[in-house]
Amino acid sequence: MIVVDVNIIVNLFIDGEHSPAATDLFEQDDQWYCPDIWLHEITNVMSTYVKHGGLSIKKADQILNNAIAYFLDSTFSMPMTDVLKCSIKYNISAYDAEYIVLAKINNTQLVTVDKRLNKAIPQLTRLL
């Protein structure tokens, strides 16, 4: 079991630079946990793709629904006071802190492509 950020999830469904590594990661460990903020983030990513002509709305809707079907059961709400404290402690966004708090609660690591976040909190993160 690992925590993954939305960039890893997106790379499972849309071909990108990190898609092969994301697919390998999923094949090695398909028990991915996510804070519920990922739902808002992936919706924003799909919206951005459509607005910039990278996807049709039909395809974006299909990807969004597939991602939700895969990961909704492993989506969790975070205690916001813990998120606030984590954000302040590590000087990171509250959005990133949600992933970190989930990793900490589950005694695992966040897998990310965010080098800055990995550098700030190497004990709770690893790069894809």
- At 105 the pLDDT is 97
Cβ(126)–Cβ(111) under 8 Å?
Answer: yes
**What pLDDT digit, counting tens, does each position of 87-99 carry?**
999 999 999 999 9
**What pLDDT digit, counting tens, does each position of 42-75 carry?**
999 999 999 999 999 999 999 999 999 999 999 9
- At 5 the pLDDT is 96
Sheet holding 2-4, edge to edge: 75-76, 32-35, 2-4, 110-112, 125-127
Q: Single out the residue of 93, 95, 86 nearest to residue 124, CA to CA.
A: 86
Q: What is the tally of structural domains in the chain?
A: 1
- What is the rounded average pLDDT of the residues 100-113? 98
Residue type, 32: W
- At 70 the pLDDT is 95
* CATH (domain of 63): 3.40.50.1010
Q: For residue 57, give its domain range.
A: 2-127
Q: Which residues of 49-76 are buried (b: 16+ CB within 10 A; e: fewer)?
A: bbeeeebeeeebeebbeebeeebeeebe
